Structure 1
Amino acid sequence: MRHTSTAYVLALIVALIGCKSDVDTNMVTPTPGNPSGGAGMPTGKVYLFMPEDLVATDSAAQVTARYTDPTKRYAHGILGDPIEAGGLFVTRKGKSYHYKLDEAYVFEDLRPRLADVDNDGELEFITIQTSLTMGASVAIYKIKDEKLQPYTASPFIGRPSRWLNIAAISDLDEDGKIEIAWVQTPHIGGILRIARVQNGALDLVDEVSGVSNHRIGSRNLCLSVLTTSAEGKTLYLPTNQYDKIRGFQLIQNRIQLVDSVVLAVDANRPLADQHNFLSPLPDRNCIFVK
C-alpha cells in the first residue's frame, strides 16, 4: 500500500500550467461539423465538439459534460482514430463552462464521467488526461468559484504512449468515501489501481497486477462490472489473457481476489453482456461505442 498525496498534487500542478477556463452564462452555437443543438448546447459562443459528441448527463443535477476541441497533436490512436480532445465543456443549471488544455496535453478519452467524488453534494468531472511526453492520468475537474478548474489527479504514467482506462467510481469498501478504480497500461501487463479523494488529493490505496479492460483500437471502455451482495461490492475485470474474469473486493484498504470465472472475453462487447452477474450495479459511466 502506498500513499502519494504530494506526488499527485505536484503532478496536477505541472500538468495544468497554461490551461484556460471560461464561463458563459448563455445557452453555444453548434459548429457546422456538429449541428445537433439541443439541451446543454450553448448559443453565445462557438465551440468545436468531437465527431461523436458523446455527452454525460445528470438530469436531476442539471449537469452535462462533453469533450471539445478535437486535435491530432498526440499520435497514439489507442481508441481507434487519431483524434483526441483538447477541451472540456460543461453545463450546470443553465450556465456553460469551458476548459481548454495546454498544447502539451489531451483528453485521451471518449466521454467525461460524472460523480460526486468528495461528498460535497456537487458532481465532479472525471477524465483521462494525457501528457504528450508522460502518458495518461486520471484527472478530476470541478466547478469552483464559478469556474471549471482542475481539482486533483493521479501522476502521469511516466512515458508517452502509455494509457489507462477507468473501471469504477464508487464507494467500493462501503465506508462512505468514493474510490476510483482504473487499469493502468491494460495492453501491457495491466495493473488495477484503486485511489480515493481525501483532502483534495487522489490518494492511492492499493494495486494488483494481471488484469485488463481494453484492447488497442477498441471503442469499448466498458470491460468491468461492479456487483453488490451481503459480503460487499465486487469489481470484475478480465485477466490479461482474456480467458477469465476475476472479482476483487477492497477490504481494509487492500485489494483481495474473491472470485474467478472461466470465460472467453470479447473485448469489443461490454462485460455485463457476457456473463450472468449476480446483482450488478447500474453504471452510468460505462462508455461503449459500436
Structure 2
Amino acid sequence: MLNSLRVKHFPLLLVAITISTILGCKTIKQETVKPLSVGTFLTDTTGSKLVDGGQVDLENAKVWNIPLDQKPQWLLYTTLNGQAVLVATLEDGSAKAWVNNGGEPHPLELTFQSSGKHVTETKNAFLLNSAVVPPVTFVKNSKVHIEVPPKDMSPHSVHALLPKSGKTAYIRKDGALVIQGNGTNSELMVNALPDARILVDQNDKIALYAAPTNRYQHAVLGDDIESARLLVIETGTENKVVTTIELESPYVFEGLAPLWADIHESEGRELITTISHIDMGSYLAVYSEAGELLAKGPAIGTGNRWRHVISADTKSNSIGVVSMPHGPGDVERYEMKDTTLEIAQANWTQYTSHAMHSRNLGRGLGFHTPKGEFEMVLVNPTRDTIALHSMNPVEVIATAPVGGELISNIVGVVDAGGNTFLAVGSDSGIRIWQSAPNKIIPN
C-alpha cells in the first residue's frame, strides 16, 4: 500500500503583516472578527461525531417525545444562550427547531439566510432533486439561523459555513469548490466527490474527498462512486490546495469525508480515513495534514467489507469503529501506537451504525464523559432500539427504544448546566433523552 500512495505537499508561505495607521497620536486597530458558532449534523465542523463532556444515562434520563406530521430526516444540536437547541429537517423540505430550557422542549423560531441575505421562502428549501440536505446553522444576535444551500450545489453534497469568515463553501454540480460571502465569490476546480461532506477547522481550512471513481463498486454508500484523492485546502485571500493525498488503483477512500481529529503528537489535526481494496476489504489509515501516512490498521481480508469510523476520542487515544456494519459486525476500539493502529478492544454486540445504500453516516455517536471514559451510541439492525456502549471494554451498558423505526442520524449536546441531550428521529417523531449532570465524587 505504501507504494500506491503519492503525496503532493505544497509548502505554505507564512507571512506576518502588521498594519498600524497613525493619525496624530491615535492608532486605529483592525477589529477581530468573532467566529460564528456553527451547528452541523456532524456534531462538529471537523466531522468529529463526539460530544465532549457528555454523560448519557438511558435508564434514568427524562424522555421527551415530539410528534410530527412529517418524518424527520436530519437532526442537529446547537446551543443558544447556553440552552440546548434541536433542529430537524423534514421529508417535505421544511425545518423546525425546539429549545430545552430546563423542562420539556418548546418550539423555537428559525430564520433562514443565504450568503448573508434573509430568505423568506423556506418551504422545500432543503429539497434538492429528492435528496434532503442536512441542515447547517449558525447562532448570531441571540437567534438560530439556517444557511440555505445554493441552488447549483451538487444535489447529494452538503454545504458548510466557515466559522472564521462566515462564508459558505459548497460543491458545485461540476465538482468545483465554491466559496462565497461578504460580497465575494470564488471557485476552485477540485473535481470533488459529488456527495462529499466538507470539513472545516477553526482557521477555515477545508478537507474533502475528490477524484470520483467507480473502480471499487461496493455501492453501499448511495452509489458506486468512491474517492481516489483527499485534499486539504487553505481559504482566505487566496484559496489553494496545500496537500493532496492520492491513491492508486485499485485502492479508494470509501466514505463521504475523513474524520479530522488531533490524535497524534504531530502539529495540527490528523485525517482518519477508511481505505478499501477489492481483495483486502477495508482498513483505517491516519495521515497528517501535510499528507504523511502516520499509521494504518489491519485489513478485514475480504473485498466488499467496510469499516465505519464513528468518532475519535483524542483524550483517550481511541477511535470508535463499526466493522462490517451491515452484518452487523464488530464494534472496535483502535489505539494509535507508533506507526500502527491496533484494535485494542472488539466485540460483536449486535448493534450497528449504517443502513445499506444510505448516505446517512451519522447513526453512531461518541461521548467523552466527565469521568474520562469513551462511550458510543449505536442502533440495532431493525433500527428500533439504541444501545449505549462502553468502549473499554467494548460492551453494551444500556438500551432504550426509539419509539418507531429510526430514520435520522443520532445527535447529542451538553448545555451550560451540564445536562446531556441525546436525540433521534423515527417514523413516529423525535425522541429526546435528557441526562442530569454527572456528579464526580472525589476520592
Match of 2:191 in 1: 48
Structure 2 residue 253 is the aligned partner of structure 1 residue 114: no
Greater alpha carbon shift after TM alignment, 222-231 vs 232-241: 222-231
- The separation in 1 between residues aligned to 2:199 and 2:244, in whole angstroms, is 15
- The separation in 1 between residues aligned to 2:5 and 2:370, in whole angstroms, is 45
Q: 2:357 aligns with which of 217, 222, 226?
A: 217
Match of 1:283 in 2: none
What's the CA shift for 1:102? 1.0
What's the CA shift for 1:92? 5.2
Aligned residues of 1:194 and 1:206 also touching (Cα < 8 A): yes
Show the 5 A alignment for 1:14-25. Answer: 15-25=1-11
Unaligned runs of 5+ in 1: 1-14, 281-290
Summarize deviations over 1:30-59 as a string: whole Å, max 9, x none: 9981344338x886xx53211134211102
Structure 2 residue 216 is the aligned partner of structure 1 residue 74: yes
Summarize deviations over 1:94-133 as a string: whole Å, max 9, x none: 6611111011101110012110112444100011111122
The change in CA–CA distance for 1:127 and 1:262 in structure 2 (over 3 A counts) is same
What's the CA shift for 1:85? 0.4
What's the CA shift for 1:236? 1.1
The change in CA–CA distance for 1:153 and 1:267 in structure 2 (over 3 A counts) is farther
In our comparison, the structure showing a higher alpha carbon Rg is 2
The change in CA–CA distance for 1:32 and 1:244 in structure 2 (over 3 A counts) is closer
- The separation in 2 between residues aligned to 1:90 and 1:201, in whole angstroms, is 23
Structure 2 residue 379 is the aligned partner of structure 1 residue 238: yes
Aligned residues of 1:212 and 1:237 also touching (Cα < 8 A): yes
Q: 2:309 aligns with which of 139, 142, 166?
A: 166
TM-score, length of structure 2 as denominator length: 0.52
What's the CA shift for 1:221? 0.6
Show the 5 A alignment for 1:89-128. Answer: 89-91=231-233, 96-128=242-274
What's the CA shift for 1:178? 1.9
Amino acid at match of 2:352: S
- The separation in 2 between residues aligned to 1:187 and 1:134, in whole angstroms, is 17
The change in CA–CA distance for 1:278 and 1:119 in structure 2 (over 3 A counts) is farther
Show the 5 A alignment for 1:150-161. Answer: 150-161=293-304
Match of 1:182 in 2: 321
Aligned residues of 1:229 and 1:279 also touching (Cα < 8 A): no
Structure 2 residue 321 is the aligned partner of structure 1 residue 192: no
Aligned residues of 2:176 and 2:191 also touching (Cα < 8 A): no
Structure 2 residue 280 is the aligned partner of structure 1 residue 139: no
Aligned residues of 1:238 and 1:246 also touching (Cα < 8 A): yes
**SS of residue paired to 1:148:** coil
What's the CA shift for 1:235? 1.3
Structure 2 residue 197 is the aligned partner of structure 1 residue 58: no
- The separation in 2 between residues aligned to 1:260 and 1:157, in whole angstroms, is 28
- The separation in 2 between residues aligned to 1:221 and 1:265, in whole angstroms, is 19
Aligned residues of 1:63 and 1:90 also touching (Cα < 8 A): yes
The change in CA–CA distance for 1:213 and 1:96 in structure 2 (over 3 A counts) is same
What's the CA shift for 1:213? 0.2
Aligned residues of 2:351 and 2:379 also touching (Cα < 8 A): yes
Aligned residues of 1:238 and 1:265 also touching (Cα < 8 A): no
Summarize deviations over 1:172-227 as a string: whole Å, max 9, x none: xxxx4320011001111321000111223212111111111001110011111234
Match of 1:12 in 2: none
- The separation in 1 between residues aligned to 2:196 and 2:396, in whole angstroms, is 37
Aligned residues of 2:177 and 2:190 also touching (Cα < 8 A): no
The change in CA–CA distance for 1:276 and 1:83 in structure 2 (over 3 A counts) is same
Amino acid at match of 1:222: G
Aligned residues of 1:190 and 1:240 also touching (Cα < 8 A): no
Q: 2:342 aligns with which of 203, 222, 239?
A: 203
Amino acid at match of 2:390: Q
**SS of residue paired to 2:361:** coil
Aligned residues of 1:137 and 1:155 also touching (Cα < 8 A): yes
Amino acid at match of 2:205: V
What's the CA shift for 1:263? 2.7
Aligned residues of 1:215 and 1:267 also touching (Cα < 8 A): no
**SS of residue paired to 1:17:** helix
- The separation in 2 between residues aligned to 1:180 and 1:245, in whole angstroms, is 20
Summarize deviations over 1:69-107 as a string: whole Å, max 9, x none: 110111111111121101111135866111110111011
- The separation in 2 between residues aligned to 1:102 and 1:191, in whole angstroms, is 29
- The separation in 2 between residues aligned to 1:265 and 1:74, in whole angstroms, is 35
What's the CA shift for 1:138? 1.6
The change in CA–CA distance for 1:265 and 1:198 in structure 2 (over 3 A counts) is farther
Structure 2 residue 242 is the aligned partner of structure 1 residue 86: no
What's the CA shift for 1:267? 5.1
Aligned residues of 1:16 and 1:102 also touching (Cα < 8 A): no
**SS of residue paired to 2:291:** strand
The higher-RCO structure (CA 8 Å, 6+ apart) is 2
Amino acid at match of 1:159: T
Show the 5 A alignment for 1:273-284. Answer: 273-274=423-424, 275-278=431-434
- The separation in 1 between residues aligned to 2:252 and 2:342, in whole angstroms, is 23
- The separation in 2 between residues aligned to 1:110 and 1:234, in whole angstroms, is 23
What percent identity do the matched residue pairs reach? Answer: 21
